[in-house]
Amino acid sequence: MCSFTDYFIICSGSSERQLTALADSVAETAYKKHRLKSPRFQGHATGGWILIDFGDVIVHAFSPEQRKRYRLEDFWREARVVVRIQ
C-alpha cells in the first residue's frame, strides 16, 4: 500500500501521561522482544500525537481528539487490517 513502511499501528491514549507511557512501552518492548533499537520519535504527548518509527513498522499514538481529526483509518481504508482490538 505504501513505499515507506509495511505496517501501521494506530492506538489512543486518554491523557498526555498515557500517550507518553504508550510510546515508552512500545520502544522498550520492541527492544526486549525483537532487539529493535532506537526508533525515531516525532511529535509530543502535549500535541496529542506521538509517532514511533521503526522503519518497517510505524506506531501512531493519538489523543482521542487528534485521532478523530487525522482519521488515518479512513485514509488507509483500503489496507488490510491484520488485528483490531477495541
- Residue 80 belongs to a domain: no
Which triple of cell numbers denotes residue 39? 526508533
The pLDDT tens digits for 75-84 are 887 877 778 7
The pLDDT tens digits for 21-75 are 999 999 999 999 988 877 999 999 999 999 999 988 999 999 999 999 999 888 8
- Residue 60 belongs to a domain: yes
Look at the chain and report how many structural domains it folds into: 1
- CA distances in angstroms from 6 to 19, 72, 78, listed in the order given: 23, 15, 14
Range(s) of the domain holding residue 65: 7-75
The helix (H) or strand (E) run that includes residue 20 is helix 16-34
- Residue 61 belongs to a domain: yes
pTM of the model: 0.85
- Residue 86 belongs to a domain: no
